[in-house]
């Protein structure tokens, strides 16, 4: 088990990591989710032992590893860039950690063949990385991490430089590849959908802080605060500032939304309503729907879906609609909210009420 206790990292005057505490179990898959510069890489470097925390403690199986150099820890890391030894063949690349560890020839041969089979690199063992496609280069790097049999495998946005197709393919294989090795598996990504696809646990990061850590679907459905909800939503979570009076939320432009059962008990005051783009409807989703007026700013058509960027009051919203819609920019549009699908955040940004309907949250 890898345990971080109130770890802080300061570089110059900048604080990169602020008081992070988390415990990663053996055999678990942990996703670090956050935008660029939120501290994912810094946190990984601390976990690996490449950097020393300014304060706090890092424990591996109960023993502090702060100050233990990275070579002495059993760590493997894969990067966004495809890092391999450029002059060595794929076989020698995969064998390199075993050679450093001084394994005998037969073991090396067996291990390399096994990893190559798992990552489907067998036909390319005699080539050098530069002769391979990006996907194969990254598979080579992953195979090197795999054969090392590391206690901790850190993947820093490993699929970010691959094209869409290769990314999907490799993403589906990754959890299986490392599942049987029983290592602690940490995966950094900027994409919420990647975290959901990988499953496991997710830690959402924002400005060097871990805002929430828990099972991925749990974090997605019950974000503890607005920052977590926004981090874990792509396109970003839509927001509406409202005032609760009695059983209604009152917003700008005379909007009145009936408070859902989950939010009924909340005290009167100011709140922020949050709703995901696919819960901002262009057609009324049911009799309980609330109609709002908004002005179209931009429309993006991806084929099966349309993203409609809308202005409502001072807020910019994104609605995700199925199919290709012909919507003119600057058109005034009636959009609909389902009160059952609203996140309610208090004025302190903490979650006050989660959507009553969780099945499709």
Residues forming contacts to other proteins in the complex (CB under 8 A) are 48, 50, 70-71, 75-77, 79, 81, 83, 85-89, 96-97, 100-101, 126-128, 130-131, 144
CB nearer other proteins, residue 181 or residue 340: 181
Q: Where do the H-state alpha helices sit in the chain? A: 40-48, 90-101, 105-118, 134-147, 164-179, 192-198, 216-221, 226-231
CB nearer other proteins, residue 73 or residue 209: 73
CB nearer other proteins, residue 154 or residue 344: 154
**CA nearest 246: which of 217, 267, 262, 274?**
267
Least Å distance, CB 81 to other proteins, is 5
Contact 183, 146 (CB under 8 A): no
Contact 341, 325 (CB under 8 A): no
Least Å distance, CB 85 to other proteins, is 5
Distance CA(141)–CA(131), nearest Å, equals: 14
Least Å distance, CB 75 to other proteins, is 6
CB nearer other proteins, residue 29 or residue 153: 153
At a CB cut-off of 8 Å and minimum separation 6, what does 235 contact? Answer: 277, 307, 318, 320
CB nearer other proteins, residue 76 or residue 242: 76
Give the full edge-to-edge strand order of the sheet including 305-312: 280-281, 332-337, 290-301, 305-312, 315-322
Least Å distance, CB 330 to other proteins, is 45
CB nearer other proteins, residue 65 or residue 280: 65
Least Å distance, CB 71 to other proteins, is 4
Other beta carbons within 10 Å of 253: 9
Least Å distance, CB 145 to other proteins, is 9
First to last CA, the chain: 32
């Amino acid at each position: 088990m890898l345990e971080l206790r109130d770890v802080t990292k300061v570089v110059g005057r900048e604080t990169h990591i602020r008081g992070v505490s988390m415990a990663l179990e053996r055999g678990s898959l942990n996703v670090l989710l956050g935008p660029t510069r939120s501290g994912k890489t810094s946190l990984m470097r601390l976990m690996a032992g490449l950097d020393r925390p300014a304060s706090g403690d890092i424990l591996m199986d109960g023993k502090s590893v702060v100050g233990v150099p990275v070579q002495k820890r059993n760590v493997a890391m894969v990067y966004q860039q495809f890092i391999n030894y450029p002059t060595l063949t794929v076989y020698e690349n995969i064998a390199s950690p075993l050679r450093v560890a001084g394994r005998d020839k037969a073991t090396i041969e067996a291990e390399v063949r096994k990893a190559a089979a798992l990552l489907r690199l067998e036909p390319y063992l005699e080539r050098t990385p530069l002769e391979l496609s990006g996907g194969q280069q990254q598979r080579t790097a992953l195979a090197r991490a795999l054969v090392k049999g590391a206690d901790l495998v850190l993947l820093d946005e490993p699929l970010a430089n691959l094209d869409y197709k290769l990314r999907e393919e490799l993403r589906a294989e990754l959890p299986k590849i490392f599942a049987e090795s029983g290592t602690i598996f940490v995966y950094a990504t900027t994409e919420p959908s990647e975290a959901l696809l990988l499953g496991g646990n997710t830690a959402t990061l924002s400005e060097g802080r871990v805002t929430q850590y828990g099972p991925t679907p749990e974090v997605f459905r019950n974000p503890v605060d607005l920052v977590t909800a926004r981090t874990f939503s792509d396109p970003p979570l839509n927001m509406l500032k409202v005032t609760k009076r009695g059983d209604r939320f009152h917003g700008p432009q005379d909007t009145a939304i009936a408070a859902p059962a989950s939010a009924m008990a909340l005290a009167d005051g100011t709140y922020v309503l949050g709703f995901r783009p696919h819960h901002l409807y262009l057609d009324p989703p049911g009799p309980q729907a609330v109609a709002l007026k908004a002005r179209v700013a931009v429309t993006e058509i991806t084929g099966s879906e349309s993203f409609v960027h809308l202005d409502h009051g001072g807020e910019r919203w994104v609605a995700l609609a199925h199919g290709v819609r012909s919507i003119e920019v600057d058109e005034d549009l009636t959009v609909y909210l389902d009160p059952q699908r609203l996140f309610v955040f208090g004025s302190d940004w903490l979650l006050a009420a989660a959507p009553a309907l969780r099945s499709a949250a």
